Structure 1
Amino acid sequence: VTTSVIGHGASLNPASIPILIDFTHNLAASLWIGGVIYLAFVVVPAVKRSQTDGYVKASLLSLIIPRFSTIPVVILGIIVITGPFLLYLLEPNLALTLASLYGKALIAKLILAAVMIGIGAYNQMIIQRDNLKGVLVAPTASIAGGGGQSEIDKSVAKKGSESERGSSNHYLNGNAVISKFGKTTKAEAFVGVALLAAVAVLVNIGLPAGEFQTQLQQLQQQQQNLPGLNIANAITTQQQGFTTTNFVENNDRVTLSINPYTPGNNNFKISYTDSNGNPIDISSAQLRYTQTEKGIGPITVDANKASKGIFTVNAAFGLAGPWNLQIEAMQTKANALDIVTEYNLFV
């Protein structure tokens, strides 16, 4: 609960749903990895130390594997649903996520989870299959020999020696199977511990948008010390403004001005007027802009209301190149549609 309350999901607004999803995701992962560790270091050693014969141990293992396997299947279903949904809530831009340090840690986590799934599949499909052959065939050998448990052990030993000479062997020694299963589950448990370490790193890394916003701010400070210099292209450019007018519903006009229209800090001014040139009453305006070439963004900025129908804000283009800008304005008039304009810019 504590990690969910102080995690990335708690920074969202509202935070209740992300926190609940994060808690469910963490709980499912903990049950999965904890179950593997318990199986590897408690259950398997206890079966191995028991005084029963090899056939009984193999029979017990044939019951343990399928019953435990149902737990990861259910848990993985929960993880597969909650994980991507939580990631979408935290950062819907997949390209930005993959380019960030957060994305790299996430990829490492997914690789380790895939290794755990692979080892579990090997236990279920290979070890369990071979173990069942021995469990099912050994009683047949006992009946054919007319004896009891001693006949089974003799049959197992006989078939084991035949296997060493190259013959096929379906009579598996119980201790050998338990030992093999113990090694694979311990390997799976160690991978699970590494997965928990990856999760710890992931929790302590900032979200992709915050990571790139920090880089943009650093670049902005550098460019403020070098006015008129286009750092991305390493050439000086004469500062000049950008102005455009878009016509929207009812022939209303949205006029956008950007100065100086260079990488770094820029002053944005958005004016909303009707067909007669009168200002439209707008309650709020928000800018969302993305560097499409590098996949940085979207960066969201709220504009400040300067007067009726006029909004201004100071925001930064962190890199030169193509930018996609969307401006959404909410009208004060009841039941009026939001005014959304989109611009493809090259800074």
Structure 2
Amino acid sequence: MPKFNGSIPVQNTLGGNSTRGSTGQPDGPMIFSFLMVTLVDLGSVFWVGAQFWRVFVSRAGQEEQRFERRFALPTLLLILFANVGVLVGQGLVLASGQALSSQILFGLVSNGRFGVYWTLRKIVVVLALLLTITVFFARKSPHLISVGIAWINLALALVLLLALALSGHAAAANSNMLVPSVLVDWLHLLAASLWIGGMMYIATIYLPLLKKRSLKERINSLLSTLPRYSPLAITGVVIMAVSGPFNATVHMNSWEQLISTAYGRVLVIKVLLVCAMLVTSAIHVRIFRPRLAKDYARYRALTSSLEMAEKTEKGSEHNQEDAITVSGKQHKQLECALSRQTARLVKTLRWEPLLGVGVLLCTGLLNIFAGTLLPATPVLPASTLQQTTSGKPFSATIRTRDRLFTAQLHVSPDHFGPNTFTVHVLEKNGKSDTNVGVSLYVTMLDMDMGTTALNLQPDHKGGFSADGDLDMTGHWQIRVEIRTPDFKLHEGEVRMIMLT
């Protein structure tokens, strides 16, 4: 059982402490964390998207009533309990396969930035729940109060997205890029809420209300409501198009990582799903809706002419009746065509959010697999090169670049095959520090063999250790990454020559 002394070695990303996660092989804690993170993302994106829809799009009281009565409370409860699951998942990761204790959970909540942002999530959701319960049991509120509540919910939604970004995979970025990375991740979540959340609202709230309306009412509603939503969707698309590549640039440093890491492969799938969403949206925005609007204009004109003809029917009744009959057939054919077009548009709008759900599933996996991204090998000065003595363990003292920590590295027995890697972390004042997370990235410099990631675990002797293989003799580089509870990364490197 890991021991704690006032704080806890919180990782940079949810599930980021799993050794298997570093190689893209999910274990039990990773899968549990993925499920909880995904449920939080799905619920949050839907709820935030609903707030934007209600403030900027909706003009029908029935939509708001349906959302408040059937969806708002269950969605917020889902976020609330899934957020607890996120905490438990992080605790399982830190427990490293051992029994989960209340001490670990308390340490997560009470120490470090993870606990602060996790608590912020809970506060936002609880406040939104209180507002929702008040509206649910209250009688019809004055319009001004309803508008005020809608704007308060929207403000809470934006804060919730910020808390998600601060505790998501953006926190795994280098400390120099942490602020822009979190900001871009927040914008990415905002884009998902505007676009995917809006589509989820359309499928679950708006479209079911159209079933009870006549064809004419359905078409009028679609042609008047969807254009009001389009600016939000377009904004989401633009933000996602800008923030997505930036996110990839922050977290990845080579095209090879798109194939060689689990993070990169998931990112490729996510990009393909987003492209599919773009194509689907373009089809119904540029083809289905304009065609429906054009035919509906013809239908209304033909309806008006038929009504006029029936009112002015005099004299040559036979010819007039023939003209009316022909126009009636055209009217009926056009009505059937409109019915088919409306059904096609509704079906597209109903199934399109599934692509968005796939995107959010990929987002959850990116949170889990952020640890599989391995940094590029930097060029080190000759002073960092150390040669081992045959038959003796390798030892080195590594100073982090920011000079805040010193890592005492030991590799034993330091020969070809299995080895034990041990690190003792010292603060600037020379005091041992066990309230951190330690990872090693081992790279063979003489041959392209990739980089092996080792997530070291507390050895209960004041250090951290893990087993790993050195597959050949020659020049090796070991990069030490120290992660403090405030999510900052402290890095240092050393090179060694293994002779046997």
Q: Please classify the TM superposition score into its range, dividing by the shorter chain length.
A: 0.5 to 0.7
For residue 296 of structure 2, the aligned residue among 111, 115, 135 is: 135
The structure where helix makes up a greater share of residues is 2
Shift of 1:173: 5.1
Please give the alpha-carbon distance, in whole angstroms, between the structure 1 residues aligned to 2:206 and 2:188. 26
The 2-side partners of 1:322 and 1:72 are apart by 55
Per the alignment, residue 85 of structure 1 pairs with: 246
Three-state SS of the structure 1 residue aligned to 2:256 is helix
Equivalent position of 1:63 in the other structure: 224
| Superposition pairs of residues 96-111 of structure 1, within 5 angstroms | 96-111=257-272
2:359 equivalent to 1:195: yes
Which residues of structure 2 form unaligned runs of 5+? 1-159, 312-324, 398-440, 454-467, 478-498
Superposed CA RMSD: 4.7
CA offsets, 1:71-115, max 9 Å, x none? 221111111111111221122223124311111111121222222
Q: Does structure 2 retain, via aligned residues, the 8 Å contact 1:289–1:297?
A: yes
- Where does residue 166 of structure 1 map in the other structure? none
Counterpart amino acid of residue 330 in structure 2: K
In structure 1, C-alpha distance between the alignment counterparts of 2:327 and 2:171, rounded to whole Å: 59
- Residues 91, 59 of structure 1: alpha-carbon distance in 2 compared, 3 angstrom cutoff: same
Whether 1:31 and 2:202 are equivalent positions in the alignment is no
- 1:159 paired with 2:330, answer yes
Change (3 A) 1:321 1:125: farther
Output aligned runs, 1:186-335, within 5 Å: 186-210=350-374, 293=448
Question: Match for residue 119 of structure 1?
Answer: 280
Q: Is the radius of gyration larger for structure 1 or structure 2?
A: 1
- Structure 1 counterpart SS, 2:370: coil
* TM-aligned CA deviation for residue 207 of structure 1: 3.0
Deviation at 1:257, TM superposition (A): 6.5
Q: Distance in 2 between matches of 1:129 and 1:100?
A: 43
The answer as to whether partners of 2:258 and 2:268 remain within 8 angstroms in 1 is no
Q: Give the aligned partner of residue 22 of structure 1.
A: 185
Q: Give the superposition deviation at 1:35.
A: 0.4
Determine what percentage of the aligned residue pairs are the same residue. 20
Report if the CA contact (8 A) 2:280-2:352 is conserved. yes
> Are 2:219 and 2:342, in contact at CA under 8 Å, matched by a contact in 1?
yes
Instruction: Provide, for residues 155-179 of structure 1, a one-character-per-residue CA deviation record: whole Å limited to 9, x for no partner.
Output: 89723765xxxxxx5x565544333
Q: Residues 44, 293 of structure 1: CA spacing in aligned structure 2 closer, same or farther, 3 A cutoff?
A: same
- Whether contact under 8 Å (1:106, 1:202) holds in the other structure is yes
**Structure 1 residue 46 displacement after superposition:** 1.8
Aligned partners of 2:327, 2:199: CA distance in 1, in Å? 30
1:238 corresponds in structure 2 to none
- Structure 1's unaligned 5+ residue stretches are 163-168, 214-247, 270-287, 299-315, 326-346
Cα-to-partner distance string for 1:205-254 (whole Å, 9 max, x where unaligned)? 233335x99xxxxxxxxxxxxxxxxxxxxxxxxxxxxxxxxxx9xxxx98
Query: What SS is found at the alignment partner of 1:92?
Result: coil
Evaluate the alpha carbon distance shift between residue 56 and residue 87 of structure 1 in structure 2; reply closer, same or farther with a 3 A threshold. Answer: same
Once the two structures are superposed, residues 239-275 of structure 1 have per-residue CA deviations (whole angstroms, 9 ceiling, x without a partner) of xxxxxxxxx9xxxx98966569xxxx98899xxxxxx
Distance 2:186 2:355 in 1: 22
Instruction: Provide closer, same or farther for how the CA distance between residues 120 and 255 of structure 1 changes in structure 2, counting only shifts above 3 A.
Output: closer
**What amino acid is the match of 1:88?**
T
The structure with the largest strand share of the pair is 1
State the one-letter code of the partner of 2:354.
F
**1:184 and 1:149 mapped to 2: Cα distance?**
38
State the alpha-carbon separation in 2 of the partners of residues 128 and 109 from structure 1: 27
Q: CA deviation at 1:8?
A: 2.4
The Cα offsets for residues 255-307 of structure 1, whole Å up to 9 and x where unpaired, read as 966569xxxx98899xxxxxxxxxxxxxxxxxx99778566599xxxxxxxxx
Hey, which bits of structure 1, 4+ residues long, moved more than 4 A?
154-157, 171-175, 253-260, 265-269, 288-298, 316-325
Select the residue among 50, 71, 80 that pairs with 2:213: 50
| Kept in 1: contact 2:306–2:327 (CA 8 A) | no
Higher relative contact order (CA 8 A, sep 6+): 2
For residues 474 and 298 of structure 2, the distance between their equivalents in structure 1, rounded to whole angstroms, comes to: 70
C-alpha contact (below 8 Å) 1:25/1:78 kept by paired residues: yes
